[in-house]
Amino acid sequence: MIYPIIFVFVVGIIIGFILFYFLLWKRSGGRAAAQAESPKFSEKEAEAILARAGLQIMERRPKAAVITKINGQDHFGCLEADYLVKKDKKRQVVVVHYTEGEPDPNEPHLRRRLLEYDNVYAPDGLLILDINTGEIREVTFRFPRERGLDVFFRALITVFIILAAIGIIWVMFILKLI
């Protein structure tokens, strides 16, 4: 009499684990999470485009460790680019753009990624490879500073010092000390 109850209980636990696993798999993005490790573009096609452009592939999917300090505690992370290439002794990081439309480096997500790569890998250049058109674009960043009152006051102080020096020399000349 007790064996059928144990059997039903064990079968219920097994079915519960299977349902829990599939619900967890679906909720975490399951297949998307499994595909996140593999690139979402044709590596052969990207490498062929890079080779035609004369770029030598040094590393595929190079990884770099990143330590973020939050409230005094270190949190370790990993940054992964698509390719690290070399041309004319210049190391460059390649980001492969595989979605539809033209890649826009001013788009915040792409710009942040490029700035991270520029900071972590310290390359001589950043490249965006548009896999749809086969076009390679070089990206550089400049951070212009606003010229406000600081420049005006620096110029004013410089003129004052020059005029003071001329005035001292003129007074010395008048007094015949020179």
Query: Would you call 97 helix, strand, or coil by DSSP?
Result: strand
**Backbone phi, psi, residue 103, to 5°:** -65, 135
Residue 147 pLDDT: 67
Residue 147 and residue 153 in contact, taking contact as beta carbons nearer than 8 Å = no
Residue 31 to residues 28, 60, 82, Cα–Cα distance (Å) = 9, 23, 21
Q: What is the pTM of this model?
A: 0.57
The one-digit pLDDT tens for each residue of the chain (178 residues) are 566 777 777 777 888 778 777 766 665 555 444 444 555 667 888 888 888 889 899 998 998 888 888 998 888 888 888 899 999 889 999 988 877 777 878 888 888 888 889 888 989 989 998 888 888 889 888 877 766 677 778 888 999 999 999 999 888 888 877 6
